[in-house]
Amino acid sequence: MNSRELQPRILLFTAKLGYQTRAFDEAAKKLGVELVFVTDRCHQLEDPWHDSAVPVRFEAPEEAAYVVMEEQSGRRVDGVLALGDRPTLAAAYAARGLGIPHNHPASVEACRSKFRLREVFRDAGLPTPWFRSVPLQAIPEPALMGIAYPCVLKPISLSASQGVVRVNNREEFLAAASRLKRLLESAEIRATREPNLDRMIVEEYLPGREVAVEGLLTGGELRVLAIFDKPDPLEGPYFEETIYVTPSRCAEREQELIKKSFAEATRALGLTQGPVHGEFRLNERGVWPIEIAARPIGGLCARALRFQVEDEGEPIGLEELLLRHVLNLSGRDAPRETAASGVLMIPVPTSGILEKVDGADEARAVAGVTELEITARWHDYIAAWPEGSSYLGFLFAGGETPAEVENALREGHAKLNFKLTPRLPVEHPVTGKV
Q: Whose CA is closest to 84, among 187, 158, 156, 33? A: 158
Q: Over 60: is that where the pLDDT of 1 sits? A: no
Lowest pLDDT segment from 101-105, 134-138, 365-369, 400-404? 134-138
> What is the rounded CA–CA span in Å between residue 335 and residue 321?
10
Residue 164 CA: distances (Å) to CA of 139, 179, 182, 244, 246: 16, 10, 13, 19, 25
Task: Give the residue-averaged pLDDT of 44-65.
Answer: 76
What is the pLDDT confidence band of residue 45, given thresholds at 50, 70 and 90? very low
Q: Over 50: is that where the pLDDT of 48 sits? A: no
Task: Give the residue-averaged pLDDT of 327-331.
Answer: 95
The mean pLDDT value of the chain amounts to 92
Parts of the chain belonging to CATH 3.30.470.20: 339-434
Parts of the chain belonging to CATH 3.40.50.20: 7-104
Q: Residue 127 in contact with residue 117, Cβ under 8 Å?
A: no
Residue 195 CA: distances (Å) to CA of 35, 86, 87, 215: 30, 11, 14, 27
More confident residue, 430 or 238: 238
Counting residues of the chain whose pLDDT is more than 90, the rounded percentage is 84
The residue type of 56 is V
The residue type of 220 is G
Task: Give the residue-averaged pLDDT of 82-92.
Answer: 95
What is the pLDDT confidence band of residue 312, given thresholds at 50, 70 and 90? confident
pLDDT tens digit sequence for 354-390? 999 999 999 999 999 999 999 999 999 999 999 999 9
Parts of the chain belonging to CATH 3.30.1490.20: 130-204
- The dotted CATH code for 130-204 is 3.30.1490.20
Task: Give the residue-averaged pLDDT of 65-75.
Answer: 94
> What is the rounded CA–CA span in Å between residue 331 and residue 323?
10
Tell me which DSSP letter residue 141 carries: P
pLDDT tens digit sequence for 171-223? 999 999 999 999 999 999 998 888 899 999 999 999 999 999 999 999 999 99
Rounded to 5 degrees, φ, ψ at 226 are -165, 145
> What is the rounded CA–CA span in Å between residue 385 and residue 82?
26
Q: Quote the pLDDT of residue 50.
A: 45
Q: Is the dihedral of CA 243, 183, 55, 104 positive or negative?
A: positive
Q: Over 50: is that where the pLDDT of 46 sits? A: no
Residue 289 CA: distances (Å) to CA of 117, 268, 298, 332: 10, 11, 18, 27
Task: Give the residue-averaged pLDDT of 36-61.
Answer: 73
Which CATH topology does 339-434 take?
Answer: D-amino Acid Aminotransferase; Chain A, domain 1 (3.30.470)
Q: Over 70: is that where the pLDDT of 432 sits? A: no
Q: Over 80: is that where the pLDDT of 165 sits? A: yes
Q: Whose CA is closest to 67, among 93, 88, 86? A: 93
Q: Residue 250 in contact with residue 229, Cβ under 8 Å?
A: yes
What is the pLDDT confidence band of residue 433, given thresholds at 50, 70 and 90? low
Q: Over 70: is that where the pLDDT of 324 sits? A: yes
pLDDT tens digit sequence for 140-161? 899 888 899 999 999 998 888 9
Q: Which helix (H) or strand (E) holds 91?
A: helix 88-98
Beta bridge partners of 244: 343
Which CATH topology does 7-104 take?
Answer: Rossmann fold (3.40.50)
What is the pLDDT confidence band of residue 41, given thresholds at 50, 70 and 90? low
Neighbour order of strands in the sheet with 199-204: 131-135, 199-204, 151-155, 165-167
Lowest pLDDT segment from 4-13, 166-175, 290-299, 387-396? 4-13
